[in-house]
């Protein structure tokens, strides 16, 4: 298994665990604070993950990793949302135009976040010569 495949697998596992924890916390009495803590902790873990990726991969590989992580995040969110937390998608008919538009908007937002974070990390790395 190549390094990029290993990183992709780890990244998708991070996304899946983060969403499962978010869903689990949101069903408890700790939901108000717990969801925010889960989001912040997940973002920190993803940033650390991306810092490690920037140290290893070239920009082209990082863009490929970002694209597949985004696809993984969207698929995981859709599957886990429908299975464990149908409240997330209660107002959307599956595979309707509205559903596809929302998935597309999510894809653009997540991909932009990954790519933007990667370029920010690469820029900081270059400026400070890490």
**What is the mean pLDDT of the segment spanning 12-36?**
91
pTM of the entire predicted model: 0.87
Of the two residues 83 and 35, the one the predictor is more confident about is: 35
**What is the mean pLDDT of the segment spanning 105-112?**
96
Domain count, the chain: 1
Q: Packing angle between helix 97-128 and helix 59-84, nearest 10 degrees?
A: 140
d(CA 106, CA 92): 14
pLDDT tops 90 at residue 5: yes
pLDDT tops 70 at residue 89: no
The token duo for 98 is 């509205």
d(CA 6, CA 63): 15
pLDDT at residue 77, as a whole number: 87
Q: Please, are residues 103 and 96 in contact by the beta-carbon 8 Å criterion?
A: no
pLDDT at residue 98, as a whole number: 86
Domain of 108?
Answer: 3-128
Mean pLDDT of the chain: 91
């Amino acid at each position: 298994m190549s390094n990029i495949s290993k990183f992709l697998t780890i990244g998708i596992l991070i996304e899946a665990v983060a969403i499962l924890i978010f869903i689990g916390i949101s069903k408890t009495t700790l939901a108000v604070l717990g969801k925010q803590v889960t989001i912040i902790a997940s973002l920190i873990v993803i940033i650390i993950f991306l810092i490690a990726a920037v140290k290893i991969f070239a920009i082209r590989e990082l863009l490929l990793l970002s694209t597949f992580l985004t696809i993984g995040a969207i698929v995981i969110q859709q599957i886990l949302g429908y299975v464990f937390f149908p409240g997330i998608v209660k107002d959307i008919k599956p595979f309707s135009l509205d559903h596809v538009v929302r998935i597309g908007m999510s894809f653009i937002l997540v991909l932009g976040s990954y790519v933007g974070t990667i370029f920010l990390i690469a820029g900081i790395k270059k400026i400070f010569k890490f």
